[in-house]
Amino acid sequence: MRHMSNGSVTSQPIPSFLINPNPKYPFREAIAKLPMNGIHTICEEAKCPNRGECLPQHGTISIMVMGSICTRGCPFCAVTTGRPKPLDETEPQKVVDIAKALNVRYLVMTSPNRDELVDGGASQFVKIVTALREFNPALKIEILVPDFEGKEASFQVLLQNPPDVIAHDLQTIPRLYGPIRPGAKYDRSLNLFRWFKANADSSKVMLKAGLMVGFGETEAEVKEILKDAAEAGVKFFTIGQYLKPPGSTLEVTEYVPLERYASWTEYGKEIGMTVQASPLTRSSYLADRLASAKA
């Protein structure tokens, strides 16, 4: 794949394997019928290419709680950076209403970074999980959490009523954290997994990590991250191609070839981890299937 002098992929059609053929209108129609009441879907906020597939075909949805304003400004992200609004005390019931209206079987919940809050929003996650459990004990819940600035007190809060899966995105390789994930630290994110590995019941709470590729990382560098994550207790790992969403400033460096994803998937098996790696994979893509798989 040829590259431009500025490091971005040459202007050419996106490879066909990066286009999800499922029409997006069923998702838009389903969401339009709901009183979202200020709740946003990460499907729409991140302009996910799979939003025409997950809800209509699999009964899964990813929502963003605690507002749509982030206290950090990562260049790959389309979420607005600024001063967030106060937490909504009625948000747990609003999330329940959405899960009920859509008959969701597997719900992924994430949030922007809320570094201005003492616990980073951990207690709000717990309140929502508790409300969802009361509504439907059979509902599977995954929370995709920020790093909480490494505060173990915040980690402890999540265990008051833990979800089925605790996920956290490493986003990129350590070498590229400066330009891609400013404000975050690779080892701090690994320490989050190490803490839950040591303190959570692994039979009830599974750990999941995610990575974007297409920034010039090598196959070996990604394998090193998989190894680090496995040692930290991660059982599920997602790897997918970065596609620049509207509003972001970070360009795509490379369209990663299919054989590289296959290599990472096989390496995951070798180290006892279930890796879902494909061009269209996102943190929550087919999350229900991944969570039911065994490494």
Q: Among candidates 256, 253, 260, which has minimal Cα distance to 275?
A: 260
Helices (H) and strands (E) in the chain, counts: 11, 10
Write out pLDDT tens, residues 216-229.
Answer: 999 999 999 999 99
107-123: buried (b, 16+ CB within 10 Å) or exposed (e) per residue?
A: bbbbbbbbbebebbbbb
pLDDT higher than 60, residue 153: yes
Work out the pLDDT band at 2, boundaries 50, 70, 90: very low
Phi, psi of 61, deg, nearest 5: -150, 150
Beta bridge partners of 143: 109, 166
Q: Does the structure show a pLDDT above 90 at 282? A: no
Structural domains in the chain (count):
1
How many C-beta atoms lie closer than 10 Å to residue 56's C-beta?
16
- Reported as a pLDDT band with limits 50, 70 and 90, residue 189 is very high
Smallest CA-to-CA distance from 112 within 60, 172, 160, 40 is with 40
Note down the domain range covering 32.
Answer: 23-292
**15 located within any domain:** no
Q: How would residue 294 be classed by pLDDT, with cut points 50, 70 and 90?
A: low
**Any domain includes 7:** no
Please tell me the predicted confidence (pLDDT) of residue 287.
74
Residue 6 lies in a domain: no
Whether residue 96 is contained in a domain is answered as yes
Q: Residue 34 and residue 176: Cα distance in Å, rounded?
A: 40
Q: In the structure encoding, which two tokens stand for residue 10, read together?
A: 């040459």
pLDDT at residue 3 is higher than 50: no
270 touches 262 (CB < 8 A): no
Q: What is the pTM of this model?
A: 0.88
Cβ atoms 94, 39 nearer than 8 A: yes
The confidence score (pLDDT) of residue 80 equals 73
Domain-located, residue 5: no
pLDDT at residue number 295 = 43
Confidence at residue 140, expressed as pLDDT on a 0 to 100 scale: 92
CATH number of the CATH domain containing 180: 3.20.20.70
Geometric angle at alpha carbon 295, from 236 and 235, rounded to 5°? 30
